[in-house]
């Protein structure tokens, strides 16, 4: 095939590489046939948070690249990291902090794409309370999900704002917001993509406190796989990442159509709630580096998060950020679109 590069195209490609990251050299392909029947473990049940995967599945984008993909729901007892690490699932979704802590423990997983360039976690308070900033958590009751990315963000927020955790009362969180609605807790950590709207629809007047407004930027919903699978099946990984990116671009460009598609895929979901999730999810997808290139692994942001986890003693040694990322496939996708 002949390639005619005009000066304009070369400049455009250079700009794209600068924005979305130049690809590393591809891994050597395996002599054995690559796996084409794969599974993706979501972090929760199918909703707009996972629109890219659902669109790619329903519209046949995975099938077009020769993949047979099963989307498996997540939940409290269905955590993506161990399921992928043990080979029960091929791909999964988790926070960047979990990628780092798992790798430090010898679990060799790699990040393929970063969907949420800012964390979806926010801290919900009642509007009639005097809690307007993290410093106001003192002498109040906060719901907490221990050992979770929520606790990581909470610790980072307290550290960034000089708040002593010992001066806060904490109670274990659960996946409902009833303790907050019943005012057994003054502060409740939630995902901005859905639970604030649920609270409002149940009559609560609320205010949200975001850690990113205090200099804490943690990334969520990172697509990952095992390093071994990525090494042995590079073309399968490439096909999955590219088809998923296509699904996300569709979801971002056509949210109303995507809401209808997901409502049909999961009839248990409420249409108005899905519309709220769509708007909030797209904000996170297009935050920072995601504005130009959704899914881009921003090395600086990953390094910043690794440094923060070290300061919080969540990591005991410096993280190998370069080793944790496999950014080739996202970079290739955007180059091919040029």
What would the pLDDT profile of 238-256 be if each residue is shown by its tens digit? 999 999 999 999 999 999 9
Domain 27-118+218-336 and domain 121-214 have a common topology: yes
Question: DSSP secondary-structure letter at 297?
Answer: -
Mean pLDDT of all residues in the chain? 90
Contact 267, 259 (CB under 8 A): no
Question: DSSP secondary-structure letter at 32?
Answer: S
The pLDDT assigned to 321 comes to: 98
Phi and psi based region of residue 160 (left: phi greater than 0; alpha: psi -120 to 50; beta: remaining): alpha
CATH (one of 3.40.190.10, 3.30.70.890, 3.30.930.10, 2.60.120.10) for 121-214: 3.40.190.10
The residue ranges of every structural domain in the chain are: 27-118+218-336, 121-214
Range 27-118+218-336: architecture per CATH = 3-Layer(aba) Sandwich (3.40)
Q: What percent of the chain has pLDDT over 70?
A: 91
How many angstroms separate the CA atoms of 243 and 83, rounded? 22
pTM of full prediction above 0.75: yes
Tokens of 162: 């000089």
184 CB-near residues (< 8 Å, 6+ apart):
141, 171
The predicted-structure confidence for 273-291, as pLDDT tens digits, reads as follows 999 999 999 999 999 889 9
Please determine, for residue 14, whether its predicted confidence score (pLDDT) is greater than 80: no
Residue with the larger pLDDT of the pair 16 and 301: 301
């Amino acid at each position: 095939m002949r390639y005619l590069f005009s000066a304009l195209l070369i400049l455009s490609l250079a700009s794209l590489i600068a924005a979305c990251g130049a690809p590393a050299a591809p891994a050597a392909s395996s002599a054995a046939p690559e796996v084409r029947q794969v599974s993706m473990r979501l972090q929760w049940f199918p909703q707009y948070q996972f629109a890219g995967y659902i669109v790619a599945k329903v519209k046949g984008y995975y099938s077009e690249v020769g993949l047979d993909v099963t989307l498996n729901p997540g939940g409290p007892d269905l955590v993506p990291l161990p399921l992928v690490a043990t080979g029960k699932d091929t791909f999964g979704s988790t926070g960047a902090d979990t990628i780092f802590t798992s790798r430090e423990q010898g679990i060799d997983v790699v990040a393929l794409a970063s969907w949420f360039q800012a964390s979806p976690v926010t801290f919900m308070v009642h509007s009639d309370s005097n809690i307007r900033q993290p410093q106001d958590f003192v002498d109040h009751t906060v719901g907490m999900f221990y050992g979770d990315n929520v606790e990581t963000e909470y610790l980072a927020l307290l550290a960034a704002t000089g708040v002593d955790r010992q001066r806060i009362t904490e109670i274990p969180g659960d996946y409902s917001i009833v303790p907050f609605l019943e005012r057994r807790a003054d502060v409740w950590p939630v995902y901005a993509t859905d639970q604030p709207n649920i609270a409002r629809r149940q009559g609560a007047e609320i205010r949200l406190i975001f850690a990113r407004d205090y200099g804490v930027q943690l990334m969520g919903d990172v697509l990952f796989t095992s390093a071994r699978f990525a090494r042995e099946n590079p073309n399968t990984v490439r096909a999955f990442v590219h088809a998923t990116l296509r699904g996300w671009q569709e979801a971002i460009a056509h949210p109303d159509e995507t809401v209808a598609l997901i409502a049909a895929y999961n009839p248990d979901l409420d249409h108005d709630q899905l519309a709220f999730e769509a708007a909030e999810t797209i904000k996170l997808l297009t935050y920072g580096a995601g504005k130009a290139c959704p899914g881009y692994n921003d090395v600086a942001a990953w390094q910043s998060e690794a440094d923060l986890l070290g300061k919080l003693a969540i990591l005991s040694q410096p993280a190998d950020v370069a080793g944790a990322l496999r950014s080739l496939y996202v970079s290739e996708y955007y180059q091919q679109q040029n």
